[in-house]
């Protein structure tokens, strides 16, 4: 039996699948745990007002600056993390890297899952 109180996942609101729990192992929640959710930085597609969905649009220069600034603010306010969860999309992975770099936390484990990918927009993509 998996108890919801025993596991935390910063970007997933439902219980993780049993296979994912087995793969990741238990992550006990402390009373002082905090979940931080960060949206990826701006992409060229965002600047053009396009739906990206699962299209793998990389970060724009503005998005890199946004991610670095987010990391600096988190560090300034004393945030420390145990793990980073991200989608498989490069814009989210890049954002995580820049945030972690700004926090001097490149050593953190990154868990990537398609379940955190943006929704698929089908023919509306692009």
Q: Could you tell me which residues are annotated as the binding site for substrate?
A: 39-46, 52-53, 91, 118-121
Of 5, 40, 66, 77, the active-site residue reads 40
Q: Tell me the binding residues.
A: 39-46, 52-53, 91, 118-121
Helix axis angle for 61-76 and 90-102, nearest 10°, is 40
- Determine whether 94 is an active site residue: no
Is the backbone of residue 124 left (phi > 0), alpha (psi -120 to 50) or beta?
Answer: alpha
- Determine whether 40 is an active site residue: yes
8 within 8 A of 29, measured Cβ to Cβ: yes
Catalytic residue set: 40, 118
């Amino acid at each position: 039996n998996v108890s919801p109180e025993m596991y935390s996942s910063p970007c997933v609101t439902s219980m993780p699948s049993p296979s994912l729990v087995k793969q990741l192992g238990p992550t006990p929640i402390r009373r002082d745990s905090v979940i931080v959710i960060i949206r990826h930085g701006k992409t060229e597609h965002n600047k053009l007002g396009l739906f990206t969905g699962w299209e793998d649009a990389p970060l724009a220069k503005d998005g890199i600056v946004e991610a670095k600034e987010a990391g600096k603010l988190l560090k300034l306010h004393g945030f420390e993390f145990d793990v980073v969860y991200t989608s498989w999309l490069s814009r989210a992975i890049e954002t995580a890297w820049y945030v972690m770099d700004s926090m001097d936390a490149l050593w953190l484990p990154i868990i990537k899952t398609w379940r955190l990918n943006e929704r698929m927009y089908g023919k509306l993509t692009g």
